[in-house]
Amino acid sequence: MQPTTELQRPIIKTELPGPKAREIIAADAQYVTPSYPRPDYKLVAEKGYGVWLEDADGNVFLDCNAGVAVCSTGHCHPEIVKAISDQAAELIHMCGTDFYYRHMPALGKKLDEIVPIDGPTKTHFANSGAEAVETALKLAMYHTRRQKFISFFGSFHGRTLGALSLTSSKKAQRLGFMRQSLDVVHIPYPNKYRHFADDRLSDEATVTRDVISWIENRLFKTTTPPEEVAGIVLEVVQGEGGYLPAPTAFVKELRRICNEHGIMLIIDEVQSGMGRTGRMFALDHHDGVKADIVCMAKGIGSGMPIGVCTAKADIMDWHKGAHASTFGGNPVAIASALKTIEMLQGGLVENAREVGEYLENGLRKLAGKYDVVGDVRGLGLMLGVEFVTDKASRKPNVALRDRVEMACFNRGLIILGCGTSTIRWSPPLILAKEHVDVALEIFDDAIAASI
């Protein structure tokens, strides 16, 4: 592994994509499903070390996306590689749904210590974010004996059929799949930069009041009686929808509503969890509000496929055979997750807070410099920059966002869009301030060249 300290800047030595990358892209077009929502720029990854990513032609990029908020400990961290390879040499698989091994209770116990749920918990193991969400949906239906769910416009919870019923961040996700499998009603997300009624600039108190009123005075009195609602599914920081943090007052109000009506508060921490926001979970930012069910994936395994759903022990009351997965909770994936959590607790959560603040300050300076940067928002190292035509109109500027994304790539910085016209920053949590300086310089230059 190359030491990250020796490499201070991206190295772009071919046209992009380079000749080897172009061959791989051509083969991909021939043999791989066209359904992946890849951005305009084409990155062909070959190797990763720390915050650096090398492509098939030897170009080196500064990675501020981390494989979409997954490689929390950076690429191929030596301690993660060792945990994975040591485990692979001992036991790769023995199907925890039928047999026992020490790894499942070990991770379950660790999660019991850290998840924002009151009292004892139990954990179900799967392989992805969508599967963790499927678990939460089935569990909430089973436990409450109810069938309806409330989800948010702009939300993303995965593309399997149950999770897709919740997902609503882009038209392409549902187009062609017609009737959804679950009974889900969507409500506006409390976005103070764009009030849902008329897009106006608003504030936390107003959007909280208006969305809560929508639930209690419209939904509950018309289409969605609360006694039929199994769960409300919330991303505390909406991810794919534009890196939008929910106000604390709103999160508290949802908890109150769930308490009053016996509804499960399901918190999807797939993108926002595992230290990314500068606390272990995004919900930890909200004055001690606790969930009934928490979904985790992405950053928990440093790149190994693992998705988990942790719930209050007395909610996870389903019968033997009700829900299980052959590969879920694979010993190698769990070994990586345990080491990841150890590293998060050992300093990376704190680093996400500190370096996140530094990055946010830098992005705010750019917002002051450019009229086209309408909003900078987020928590820790989960930051969104929304591009607009100008600050006065706040009209989303999709074309500019796409140009900036491409200009960053051409200069060796990997960032990715989300929402309508936002760029998300979701770097590895090992990012240092020196990396931020380089990233901001490139971002600044990319914006200037794209206006």
Ligand X SMILES: Cc1ncc(COP(=O)(O)O)c(C=O)c1O
Q: What's the min distance (Å) between Cβ of 435 and ligand X?
A: 24
Q: What's the min distance (Å) between Cβ of 255 and ligand X?
A: 19
Cβ distance to ligand X smaller for residue 296 or 407: 296
Of 126, 130, 265, 266, which one interacts with ligand X (CB under 6 A)? 130
Residue 212 CA, distance from chain mean position: 24
- DSSP per residue over 336-396, as a string? HHHHHHHHIIIIIHHHHHHHHHHHHHHHHHHHHH-TTEEEEEEETTEEEEEEBS-TTT--B
Q: Detail the DSSP E strand segments found in 198-335.
A: 229-234, 237-238, 244-245, 264-268, 293-296, 307-312
The answer to whether residues 155 and 169 touch, using CB atoms and an 8 Å cutoff, is yes
Of 80, 133, 246, 258, which one interacts with ligand X (CB under 6 A)? 133
Of 77, 124, 148, 157, which one interacts with ligand X (CB under 6 A)? 157
Cβ distance to ligand X smaller for residue 278 or 362: 278
Taking the C-alpha atoms of residue 182 and residue 180, their distance in angstroms, rounded to an integer, is 6
The answer to whether residues 94 and 66 touch, using CB atoms and an 8 Å cutoff, is no
Taking the C-alpha atoms of residue 39 and residue 17, their distance in angstroms, rounded to an integer, is 13
Cβ distance to ligand X smaller for residue 57 or 268: 268
Q: Detail the DSSP E strand segments found in 177-248.
A: 183-187, 229-234, 237-238, 244-245
Cβ distance to ligand X smaller for residue 63 or 268: 268
Report in angstroms the alpha-carbon separations of 145 from 178, 229, 262, 274, 320.
26, 9, 11, 31, 17
Q: What's the min distance (Å) between Cβ of 439 and ligand X?
A: 22
What type of residue sits at position 258? C
Cβ distance to ligand X smaller for residue 243 or 409: 243
Binding mask 90-129 for ligand X (x = CB under 6 A): --------------------------------------xx
Taking the C-alpha atoms of residue 341 and residue 263, their distance in angstroms, rounded to an integer, is 30
Q: What's the min distance (Å) between Cβ of 230 and ligand X?
A: 18
Q: What's the min distance (Å) between Cβ of 237 and ligand X?
A: 9
Q: Detail the DSSP E strand segments found in 100-216.
A: 121-126, 148-152, 183-187
Whose tokens are 């702009």? That residue is 154
Residue 95 CA, distance from chain mean position: 27
Please list every residue from 262 through 301 that binds ligand X, using CB under 6 A.
268, 270-271, 297
Q: What's the min distance (Å) between Cβ of 145 and ligand X?
A: 25
Q: Is the dihedral of CA 363, 43, 15, 2 positive or negative?
A: positive
Cβ distance to ligand X smaller for residue 158 or 427: 158
Please list every residue from 229 through 248 that binds ligand X, using CB under 6 A.
235, 239-240
Total of chain residues touching ligand X, rule CB under 6 A: 14
The answer to whether residues 324 and 131 touch, using CB atoms and an 8 Å cutoff, is no
**The two structure tokens encoding residue 54:** 């090398």
Question: Does residue number 226 form part of the binding site for ligand X (CB under 6 A)?
Answer: no
Q: What's the min distance (Å) between Cβ of 415 and ligand X?
A: 16
Question: Does residue number 302 form part of the binding site for ligand X (CB under 6 A)?
Answer: no
Question: Does residue number 158 form part of the binding site for ligand X (CB under 6 A)?
Answer: yes
Question: Does residue number 328 form part of the binding site for ligand X (CB under 6 A)?
Answer: no
Q: What's the min distance (Å) between Cβ of 297 and ligand X?
A: 5
Cβ distance to ligand X smaller for residue 343 or 418: 418
Footprint of ligand X (CB under 6 A): 128-130, 133, 156-158, 235, 239-240, 268, 270-271, 297
